[in-house]
Structure formats: C-alpha cells, structure tokens
Amino acid sequence: MKDENIKNIVEQSEVKTSYEFTDNLIAEIENGMQKNAQVAFWTMPKIAIGFVAVAILSGVLGSLLLPSSFTGATIIPIVWSFLLLIGLNHLLALHKCQSILEMNHKGMTPTKETLQL
C-alpha cells in the first residue's frame, strides 16, 4: 500500500471523545481546586516555624509555671510527647477529612477503616 494511502487510512482512525468530555474534565478540575482549598496540610516551612514556636513557648511556660524542682526533670519529655501526639492527631484528622472528601467526590461511601483513621 502506498504511503499516502496509509496516511489517509490512519487519519480516519481518529477516535472522538464523548460529547461531555470537556465539561466533565473542567468540573473535575474545579472540584479538585475546591477540595484542595477546603483541606490543606501544613507546608514544611509552616511545620518548622510551628516547631520553633512551640519550643520557645514551652520553654517560657515551663520556666514560669513549673516548680523549680521539675525543671530539667522527666516532665520535659512527657510534655514534648504530649505536644507531638496532639500534632499527629491533627494531621490524622486532616487526612481523614481529605479521604472522606475524596470518597464523596468519587460518589463512594467511606469504609469503616477510613472513618476509624
């Protein structure tokens, strides 16, 4: 078969998208933008600033409020662990919200595991 015939044939092999393809795509992008605006994880600079702020605050509060016998004692790692747990809990809660939103967006029902996260 001649090259020009092949070209003519391959040109006819173009597949058309469904009628609503572009509308669905734009809706998907806009929904994604909305979802990202609703739930956002902290960025690394924010986490670093938060870490420093908590360190300073806990140092100041510790020296002001804790009895002098506690200073430099075992209470310090306990307080730090407590603060870290609060932070982790916050991240997990955000993750859970994001998962539920994603599932709702896809028209799926959140599973028990998702809700337990």
Partner 1 sequence: MGSKVVDKDTQLIHRVRDGDMQAFRTLVDLYKDKSLSLAMSILKDKPLAEDVLQEAFIKVYQNIEKFKFKSKFSTWLYRIVVNTSYNQLKKKKRTFPLSEDDYTFEPLAENNVGLSLKHNDQKEFIQKAMARIRPDEALTLRLFYLCEMNLKEVEDVTKFSASKIRVDLYRGRKNLEEQLQKLLGKHIDDLL
Among 30, 53, 84, 111, binds partner 1 (CB under 8 A): 30
CB 79 within 8 A of CB 61: no
The pattern of x and - marking residues 57 through 86 that bind partner 1 according to CB under 8 A reads: ------------------------------
Tokens representing residue 57 in the block: 């605050």
Among 13, 43, 68, 69, binds partner 1 (CB under 8 A): 13
29, containing H or E segment = helix 21-38
Q: Single out the segment in contact with partner 1 by CB under 8 A; choices: 3-11, 42-50, 78-86, 109-117.
A: 3-11
Quote the least distance from Cβ 22 to partner 1, whole Å: 5
Tokens representing residue 62 in the block: 């510790």
Tokens representing residue 4 in the block: 């020009």
CB 82 within 8 A of CB 54: no
* Binding residues vs partner 1 (CB under 8 A): 1, 5-18, 21-22, 24-26, 28-30, 32
